[in-house]
Amino acid sequence: MFGKAISNLMIKPGKSPVFETPDKYKLNYEDVTFKTADDVTLSGWLIKGGTNGVIIQSHFGVQCSRCGYTQEGKGMMKNALWTSDIRFLDQAKYLVNSGYSVLMYDMRNHGESERTGWVSWGKNERKDVVAAVKFISEHTDYQNTNIGLLSICMGQGASVFAFGLEDEMKNFKNLKTMISVQPLTYDYFVRAMGLPNFLIKAGNKYNKQKRNVDLTGESFLPYVKDISIPTLVIQNQNDPMTNIDMVKRYYQDLTVEKEMLWLDLEKKRGAAYNWIGQNPGPIVSWFDKYVK
């Protein structure tokens, strides 16, 4: 019973509605779908801006969709992440105003994309990142356009897995840079939640035996060295749901041009996710340097 409850909390889909659309932000967009290499259909928006490049945003996991996080339906947990909805269309708006087009998509088992089973915290979702980059690279309007990745939490984990496990990821000549927002591995997250070891073990056991998902070990960390594009890492130093030494290791293991941006925000995981929507300066400056 305990194992299933912990597993449901961490990897069960269905908590990530698409709760608003770009219309609210007066953005010009089209609904798009595209397939992954393992034949999963992903849904998204292609938001049309200028000619500076295309930014592909990959969201965080389980309770998030392409448009962000809503407190609605989260019950007693609604304030654990952040004190209000987190709206990812905020950064889409300022990126478009800065001359970029934006692809926002739902990873598998999130939002309106196809359900395939359980959330794997980036390992399976790596194929979604590759498919998104391929979709833009082959799009009639963007074949010769540079691409930047705005990869958030599980989205950045999926991006790292893609660099480490998918040869195709290194062959995209137009893929120029990544912003990695708050890298987090599953094991540190469940420990940071204050769960006793017996519950963590019960959840891991249930994942393996009943759902064929193994989230133990170092997750994407061994593949950080395989990232092949300049990377900006953004981390709230007061984030209570991570291990700061792990984040420092992530940064140290990067072998490309890199920069670390430490934020001094409220002691909530979602503070940094909200911050990126309200602070365009560092985001736009980084993409202007490598994508524009």
Whole-model pTM?
0.96
**CA atoms of 175 and 73, how far apart (whole Å):** 37
d(CA 127, CA 65): 17
In the chain, what percentage of residues exceed pLDDT 70? Answer: 99
| pLDDT band, residue 212 (cuts 50/70/90) | confident
Q: What is the mean pLDDT of the chain?
A: 94
Integer CA distances (angstroms), 40 to 15, 31, 70, 259, 291, in order: 19, 17, 25, 34, 29
Phi, psi of 70 (to 5 degrees): -115, 140
- Which whole number is the average pLDDT over 205-209? 86
For 99-130, b/e burial (b = at least 16 CB within 10 A) is: bbbbbbbbbbbbbbbbebebbbbbbbbbbbbb
The predicted pLDDT at position 200 comes to 80
Which pLDDT score is estimated for 101? 98
Predicted pLDDT of residue 196: 79
For 49-72, letters b (16+ CB in 10 Å) and e give: beebbbbbbbbbbbbbbbbbbbbe
Q: What is the pLDDT of residues 228-259, one digit of tens each?
A: 999 999 999 999 999 999 999 999 999 999 99
Nearest CA-CA partner of 230 in 143, 288, 165, 155: 288
Cα-only R_g, the chain: 18
**Per-residue pLDDT at 197:** 81
Q: Are strands 86-87 and 100-105 parallel, antiparallel or unpaired?
A: unpaired
Task: Please state, in angstroms and rounded to a whole number, the distance separating the CA atoms of residues 206 and 225.
Answer: 31
Give me the mean pLDDT over the 118-130 stretch: 96
Calculate mean pLDDT across residues 104-115.
97
Report the pLDDT value the prediction gives residue 49, as an integer from 0 to 100. 96
- Does the pLDDT at position 192 exceed 80? no
Q: Which fold has domain 2-290?
A: Rossmann fold (3.40.50)
Question: What pLDDT does residue 76 have?
Answer: 63
Pick from 143-147, 202-206, 282-286: least confident: 202-206
CB burial string 265-288: b at 16+ within 10 A, e below: bbebbbbbbbbbbeebebbbebbe
Q: What per-residue confidence (pLDDT) applies to 193? A: 72
Per-residue pLDDT, averaged over 195-219, amounts to 84
pLDDT in tens, 14-56: 889 999 999 999 999 999 999 999 999 999 999 999 999 999 9
Does residue 2 have a pLDDT over 80?
Answer: no
- Residue pair 43/107 in contact (Cβ under 8 Å)? The answer is no
Q: What is the mean pLDDT of residues 101-120?
A: 97
pLDDT over threshold 70, residue 89: yes
Residue 13 has pLDDT above 90, yes or no: no
pLDDT of residue 124: 96
**Residue 8 has what pLDDT?**
82
288, 261 Cβ separation under 8 angstroms? no
Whole-number pLDDT of residue 74? 78
